[in-house]
Amino acid sequence: MIEQSLVIIKPDAVRRKLIGMILNRFETEGLLIKKLKMIQIPRELAEKHYAEHEGKDFYPNLIKFITSGNVVVMILEGENAISFIRELVGATNPAEAEKGTIRGDFKEQPVKSVTENMVHASDSKSSARREIELFF
Ligand code: ADP
Ligand code: MG
């Protein structure tokens, strides 16, 4: 089934000049960029986006990080895009992300942070709908 997913290239990847590498990975894998913009996420939007994590120990640092600089937000479209992109992105903790995944291939050695993991991708149809609505 053709699906759309909300993907964010996070501030660490923008600072590390990885935008082109990451976009290239998605396009090479056959995904279509439907919408794309560079923004600095306002705090209120970050809090809505990450509402499911409110109250967790890493939440304050996550909000600080995701609002700390420019991000590239996009809608990607393709066959089974939501789960396919999650596989391409790899494990949340870059230290555990396998070779061949974006987090696995572009992680800093040694990994300093779970929070600064370069990419966000929607984890389900309902999150994709919700996140696309939030950002576009
Ligand atoms: P994912 O981005 O892989 O869907 P989660 O939804 O679990 O991961 O978490 C959202 C984001 O919060 C992660 O991408 C990462 O930036 C940060 N994060 C998650 N777990 C931790 C943790 N244990 N310590 C620090 N930051 C975390
Ligand atoms: Mg998530």
Q: Which amino acid is at 59?
A: Y
Write out the E strands in 44-90.
71-79
Ligand 1 nearest-atom number relative to CA 117: 16
Note the pLDDT tens digit of each residue in 82-93: 999 999 999 999
Q: Is residue 36 within a helix (H) or strand (E), and if so which, with residue range?
A: strand 32-39
Active site residues: 120
Report if pTM > 0.95.
Answer: yes
CA–centroid distance for 117 within its chain = 8
Per-residue tokens: 6? 């909300």
What confidence score (pLDDT) does residue 114 get? 98
Residue nearest to atom 19 of ligand 1 (CA): 115
In the chain, the domains with their CATH numbers are 2-135 (3.30.70.141)
